[in-house]
Amino acid sequence: MLEQLTLGRYVPGQSILHRLDSRAKLLLSLYLIVIVFLTSNWLTYVFMFILVGGLIAMTGLKVGYFIRGIGPLIWLIVFTAVLQLLFTPGGHVYWHWGVLMLTSTGIATAVSVFLRFLLIITMATILTLTTAPLAIADGVEAMLKPLRIVHFPVAQTALMLSVALRFVPTLLDEATTIMNAQRARGVEFNNGGLIKRLRAIVPLLIPLFVGAISRADELATAMEARGYQGGDGRTKYRVLHWRSADTMAVISVLIINIVLVVFRHLN
């Protein structure tokens, strides 16, 4: 299951989205995630899913790759939606038992939460699939540069982000390897009740945390041996270039925002 998770992984390519400046992709991704919350009727949801489908097509990757990658996160989305379904009052009451209830407002809220989470996770996956971790870190550092006026540690923040993004796929691969090794020793992760499953995870978490701490210590030692002193006075090997395609992408998203607002007010 973990090896199918694509959120946080980068797939090299030459698509339009791959070639966009990382700053543009970060800004547009954050903006699209924000305007997802403007969706309020079926027309806006259809419009957003068509938009996301177009973005997936522009990546040059197969749709099945996204479906398999988001699969491990679908249970988190469903769990959140179920909470909204059973604990949201208002509207017509279809069923009631203790603190649990099934109402028309709860159903509408649960469907809305499910679709919005699905859109947000898909957009975040598109960003990480088409942008290298170091490019994301460079983009974040460039966007946070104005905060240097208030002595915000921009370089250190970008470094932490790049290291975190770099090792997310590594930790997932290591977790998969450990799970396979534990299965070979007779550990069952998917059988039994909740308590039994939680106990089965312990043999997975301990070596995973030990490996992560060891890797962090080795990375810190290597950086110290190479004289890393932060971002002051350092030059960049990868220079970001804002092109006309990035400007067109920003204009396109602004137009999308206007269309979404118009659809939002249509009944």
**Which H, E and C letters describe 39-99, residue by residue?**
CCCHHHHHHHHHHHHHHHHHHCCCHHHHHHHHHHHHHHHHHHHHHHHHHCCCCCEEEEECC
Q: Is there a single domain that holds both residue 71 and residue 97? A: yes
195 and 140 inside one domain: yes
Instruction: Give dist(CA 53, CA 119) in Å, integer.
Output: 10
Q: Are residues 184 and 75 in the same domain?
A: no
Structure token digits, residue 17:
């989205």
Taking only the tens of pLDDT, the chain with its 267 residues reads 444 555 567 788 888 898 999 899 999 999 998 888 888 888 889 999 999 999 999 988 888 777 776 777 788 888 888 888 888 888 888 888 877 888 888 888 899 999 999 899 888 888 888 888 888 888 888 888 888 888 888 878 877 877 877 777 777 778 888 888 877 877 776 666 667 666 777 777 888 888 888 888 888 898 888 877 766 666 777 778 888 999 999 999 999 888 888 888 775
User: From CA 214, how far away is CA 50, in angstroms rounded?
Assistant: 44
- Give me the sign of the Cα torsion angle 155, 229, 241, 133: negative
| Full domain range(s) for residue 247 | 1-131+240-267
Please tell me the total count of domains within the chain: 2
Q: Are 141 and 176 in a shared domain?
A: yes
The answer to whether 110 touches 81, Cβ cutoff 8 Å, is yes
Name residues whose C-beta falls within 8 Å of residue 227's C-beta, 6 or more positions apart in sequence.
Answer: none
pTM exceeds 0.85, yes or no: no
Residues 82 and 164 in one domain: no
Residues 119 and 136 in one domain: no
Rounded distance, CA 214 to CA 211, Å?
5
Are 81 and 114 in contact by the 8 Å Cβ rule? The answer is yes
